[in-house]
Amino acid sequence: MGLQLYDYILSGSAYKARLLMALLGVDYQPVAIDFHPGGEHKKPDFLAINPAGTLPVLVDGDLTLCDSQAILAYLAQKFDPTDTWFPTRDPGVTGRILQWLAFAGRLTDTAGAARLHDMLGRPLNIEKARTNAHMVLRELEAHLTEQGFRGDNFLTGSNPTIADIACFPYTALSPDGGIDHDDYPAIRKWLVAIRRLPGFIEMPGIHRLHDMRDEADA
Ligand SMILES: N[C@@H](CCC(=O)N[C@@H](CS)C(=O)NCC(=O)O)C(=O)O
């Protein structure tokens, strides 16, 4: 059997895996989990696969991976013949990518949590979560502004890597949690650069860039 992804359409974390597989042209079989309202990810059958009760989970033969950042690293190493999505030959580059993967966790814990509160009514100190999310987004904005001065579009240089894929969903989806992008022009440009990548796919709340020429011709 090929790759299986335990998935939920509205999960920004699962979308990271779906997006990278689309960009790399990797086939997989989705296993839909009724995250809401069913709470299937907290039931015994799913907890036997991932005791943390979180999505996504990737299964490849005997290997089960339960963290979206780990899944991105695995997919890039296994399926990227160009060795650009997760280059591992330069320790400095690898270290910086891993730093952004950890940063993506902070986005999930702040902007992602605010989104779950606003969309699904999860209990949360929403003002604190939004304040913390803005602190995280300000760090991202400052970094992307510096990169822009150097002429680089992406988090670790002129090519996209798994660092960009990891940080993209909860940044793009943050308005769902009441965290707008008005003060973040560099982030807005970076989000567009990712949406321009060949093979980009959408999820609810994150749309592809439509071809304006087709619309004008219609
Ligand atoms: N560190 C994990 C966190 C993933 C995560 O938080 N996933 C959300 C769905 S987007 C989840 O399953 N949360 C469980 C819950 O809120 O009940 C990862 O990156 O895979």
In this structure, the number of other CB atoms found within 10 A of the CB of residue 32 comes to 11
First-residue to last-residue Cα distance in the chain: 44
Q: How far is CA 185 from CA 96, 137, 155, 189, 211, in A?
A: 23, 11, 15, 6, 22
The structure tokens listed for 197 are: 């990548």
**CATH domain 91-195 topology:** Glutathione S-transferase Yfyf (Class Pi); Chain A, domain 2 (1.20.1050)
- The single-letter code of the amino acid at 144 is L
State the sign of the Cα–Cα–Cα–Cα dihedral 48, 52, 58, 62. negative
Residue 47 is predicted with a pLDDT of: 98
Q: Where are the domains of the chain?
A: 4-79, 91-195
- 187 Cα–ligand 1 center, Å: 23
Residue among 98, 108, 173, 176 to mutate when testing ligand 1 (max atoms within 8 A of CB): 108
Residues of the chain below pLDDT 70: 211-218
Report the pLDDT value the prediction gives residue 211, as an integer from 0 to 100: 61
CA proximity to 126, closest of 85, 194, 179: 179
pTM: 0.95
Q: Which atom of ligand 1 is nearest to the CA of 39?
A: 17
So what's the pLDDT on residue 218? 47
110 CB less than 6 Å from ligand 1? no
CATH H-level superfamily of 4-79? Glutaredoxin (3.40.30.10)
Write out the two tokens for 140.
């991202």
